[in-house]
A and B are shown apart, each in its own frame.
Chain A
Amino acid sequence: GESVGLHLPTLSVQEGDNSIINCAYSNSASDYFIWYKQESGKGPQFIIDIRSNMDKRQGQRVTVLLNKTVKHLSLQIAATQPGDSAVYFCAENISSGGAGKSTFGDGTTLTVKP
């Protein structure tokens, strides 16, 4: 079936630097994408989302970029902090006919060094 995958399983950055986490998706019918943060032993936490009619969306310290041409999604975290250390998942969703269910990528473990 269709899947969403991440390019890098781990990412280590220095505190204060910017982080970029990438994601490739394969279902061209997907039109809604979400980034989640998951800390150890907890459920995923919503970070930011983007619909396919947009190519960029900004939140507080985070930006999501969507490139539909190459089916690529990225999450940028500005001024990364130790509290940002977690596993980050992208998820794809089909708004119509997809029953609202999300397909998750493999996850990238972000480690922030003080």
Chain B
Amino acid sequence: GAVVSQHPSWVICKSGTSVKIECRSLDFQATTMFWYRQFPKQSLMLMATSNEGSKATYEQGVEKDKFLINHASLTLSTLTVTSAHPEDSSFYICSARDRRGYHNEQFFGPGTRLTVL
């Protein structure tokens, strides 16, 4: 149980295009999902908290107009990187909290590797 998937697993796009990444909780409902970004040999940096049915909460320094987050259902959150540039190339990871879970345990997706040319 507690499986989180991401799609696509990797994507290559041209500079200036937009890319959408999906995060799904496959066997549980997630009222809250989190989006992280990880550069090579660095830690995970939280970008935003996505709450089902409401606006996402962005961390300081993260442009909300560039990284659009939609959490339309209890099993799906999407991250859209708009007008992507090479500096946006990174490993994007989502996590989800089980609404029935204790503590604040998060289940992580496998990540999406974004390369912007």
Please tell me if the beta carbons of A101 and B43 are within 8 angstroms of each other in the complex: no
Q: Which residues of chain A in 1-19 are interfacial with respect to chain B, using CB atoms and an 8 Å cutoff?
A: 1
- Given known pairs A41-B111, A42-B111, the reply for A100 and B104 (CB within 8 Å) is yes
A43 on interface, CB distance cutoff 8 Å: yes
**How many chain A residues touch the partner (CB < 8 A)?**
25
- Whether A43 pairs with B43 at a CB distance below 8 angstroms is no
Q: Which residues of B does A touch, CB under 8 Å?
A: 4, 6, 32, 34, 36, 42-46, 49, 57, 60, 91, 93, 95, 97, 103-111, 113
A41-B91, A95-B103, A98-B104 given; name 16 further pairs at CB < 8 Å: A1-B60, A32-B103, A36-B108, A42-B110, A44-B93, A44-B95, A89-B43, A99-B49, A100-B32, A100-B49, A102-B106, A104-B36, A104-B44, A104-B46, A105-B43, A107-B42
Contact (Cβ within 8 A) A100 B106: yes
| Chain A residues at the B interface, C-beta cutoff of 8 Å | 1, 32, 34, 36, 41-46, 49, 51, 89, 93, 95, 98-107
CB distance from B81 to the nearest CB of A (A): 18
Main secondary structure of the interface of B (DSSP, over half): strand
Instruction: Determine the distance from Cα of A107 to Cα of B40 in the docked complex, in whole angstroms.
Output: 12
Which of A1, A43, A89, A102 has the most CB atoms of chain B within a 10 A radius of its CB? A43
Closest to B101 in A: A100
23 A-B pairs whose Cβ atoms sit less than 8 Å apart in the complex = A34-B106, A41-B91, A41-B113, A43-B6, A43-B110, A43-B111, A44-B44, A44-B93, A44-B108, A45-B108, A46-B105, A46-B106, A49-B103, A93-B104, A95-B104, A99-B32, A100-B32, A100-B49, A100-B97, A103-B46, A104-B36, A105-B43, A106-B42
